[in-house]
Amino acid sequence: MSSVWQCTESLTEAIAQSEEYKAYNEAREIISSNVELSIKLNEYRLRSFHLQNSASSEEYLDELDLLELEYVQLKKDPKVIAFLATELRLCRMIQEINTAIAKLIDLELKL
């Protein structure tokens, strides 16, 4: 096995052992224990993901308004806020790892 793959295994293990990932899993388990809440939150996350990657500006504003209304309802639940916060911390950690790799290997990306 190449050293790159060994390091990849070490990195994935480090991520799995990180406080960010542990907190995310704990919050995810809490959300998963409430099926209705889990479904609503996952629908929100999916729509949010699609909206963030959407190119249509006309539909974007309408969908953004709907999403904001939905978020107001979801954020009334502290379990949802905790989950979204831990998910954001985990995603930011992964983004920072990706940025560090991209800078190191100089793919001529404008970061």
Half-sphere exposure of 31 (CA within 13 A, CB side): 25
Q: Which CATH superfamily is domain 3-105 in?
A: YheA/YmcA-like (1.20.1500.10)
How much is the pLDDT for 104? 85
How much is the pLDDT for 32? 97
Residues 62-96 have pLDDT tens digits of 888 888 888 898 989 999 999 999 999 999 999 99
Kindly list the domain boundaries of the chain, sorted by start residue.
Answer: 3-105
How much is the pLDDT for 55? 64
pTM (2 d.p.)? 0.81
Question: Per-residue pLDDT averaged across 39-48, rounded?
Answer: 91
Question: Is there a contact between 16 and 68 (Cβ–Cβ < 8 Å)?
Answer: no
Alpha helices (H) in the chain, listed in sequence order: 3-17, 19-32, 35-52, 57-74, 78-105
